[in-house]
Amino acid sequence: MMRTVKAFLRDWSMLIVFAAMFVILAVVTKGVFLQKNNLLNLLSQNALIGVLAIGQFLVILTGGIDLSVGSMLMVSSIAYVYFQQLGVAGSMAFAVFTGAFFGVLNGLSVTKFKINAFITTLASMQIARGIGFISVNGQPIFNIRPEFLTLGSTKYFQVSAQVYIWLALVIVGMVILNKSRWGVALYCTGGSRDASRLSGIKTDRVILSAYALSGALCGVGGILYTSRLALADPTIGGAMNMDSITAVVIGGASLAGGQGKLFNTIIGVLVLGMLNNFMNIIGISSTMHVGIKGFILVVMVLLNNATLLKKDS
């Protein structure tokens, strides 16, 4: 009986946390949290971080980390509207290519030049930020054609199109991770790179592809950001790095690699979004948000490490 209960709690722990937090916020805010507009805003506001968290999850699954997602999103956002004469489809392709390009550079640095992922992506973050800032002379781009903003204004059944894009990417990601050889290779590489290499898995290719996909998803995020807010801003991106990592860690993924579920990462995004939403409702200043989320990240990492030590023993 106890084993059944433990298995249930292990498999459904994130949904239980999500449901509990949902009920608590509904009670504490006296129903304000449950208002229709608030819930719709919760989804639309977190679709962007949700897309970034998918890529971050892939990288963390290999045992790496990507500190450059915010900057890659920023430079991709600029790329999306920098050559508007390419048309919407051409500009979208250019934005995704820009993000993927930086992702490939990160992957090559980690796999071929054996540079630590933390240092690699930290440097990439600064490089992308510098390129974005210089390309627009530090000034946001506001002069954007209406057709480039369609994704930000389109809604289906009162839900933003961006939410549907996020969910579609999640479904594709879950299918690939659970049903493809590449998904198995990703988990194996994160679990033990040496053992995976000896079993015939081309671990460098797997890791490179994870960083490349993370970059490409940042390109998608750049499109979503610009189409929603109608600007391309060279100063954005800093908080998105921590938010994407925090969401993945809240979802139970191990920073050591090889463990985690994409579905739980999405629940982690929503839990983090609910926390942000709650802090806004009760009037906590945005400067405090970073500190609170940083504290949560530390606590979740400690809990994760404690779980790993318990399994090892």
**What's the pLDDT at 8?**
58
Q: Strand, helix or coil at 256?
A: coil
Q: Residue 153 domain-assigned?
A: yes
Going by pLDDT thresholds of 50, 70 and 90, the confidence category of residue 140 is very high
With 0-12 CB in 10 A as exposed, 13-18 as middle and 19+ as buried, what is 35?
A: exposed
Q: Can you read off the two tokens belonging to residue 218?
A: 């940042």
> Is residue 30 assigned to a domain?
no
Contact 296, 246 (CB under 8 A): yes
Model pLDDT for residues 147-167, shown as the tens digit of each residue? 999 999 999 999 999 999 999
Over residues 152-208, the pLDDT tens digits come to 999 999 999 999 999 999 999 999 999 999 999 999 999 999 999 999 999 999 999
pTM, to two decimals: 0.94
Per-residue pLDDT tens digits for 52-75: 999 999 999 999 999 999 999 999
Domain annotation covers residue 162: yes
Number of domains within the chain: 1
Neighbours of 36 (CB within 10 A): 8
- What pLDDT, on a 0 to 100 scale, did the predictor assign at position 279? 87
Residue 80 and residue 73: Cα distance in Å, rounded? 10
For residue 98, give the amino acid letter.
T
Q: Which residues have C-beta within 8 Å of that of residue 149, sequence separation ≥ 6?
A: 226, 227, 230
Residue 7 has pLDDT above 60, yes or no: no
Look at residue 301 and tell me whether its pLDDT is greater than 90: no
Give a yes or no: residue 58 inside a domain. yes
Least confident range from 10-19, 71-80, 272-281: namely 10-19
Helix (H, G, I), strand (E, B) or coil at 30: coil
Residue 27 counted as domain residue: no
Mean pLDDT estimate for the chain: 91
Residue among 101, 78, 100 nearest 91 (CA): 78
Cα separation, 250 vs 230, in Å, equals: 31
CB 33 within 8 A of CB 26: yes
Beta bridge partners of 156: 159
Range of the domain at 160: 37-305
**pLDDT tier at 5, thresholds 50, 70, 90:** low
Per-residue model confidence (pLDDT) at position 156: 94
Q: Per the structure block, which two tokens stand in for 87?
A: 């048309």
How many CA atoms are closer than 13 Å to the CA of 75, on its beta-carbon side? 25
Domain presence at residue 15? no
We report the CATH number of the domain holding residue 179 as 1.10.3470
Residue 242 is assigned to a structural domain of this protein = yes
Best CA proximity match to 136, nearest among 237, 235, 240: 235
Q: Specify if 25 maps to a domain.
A: no
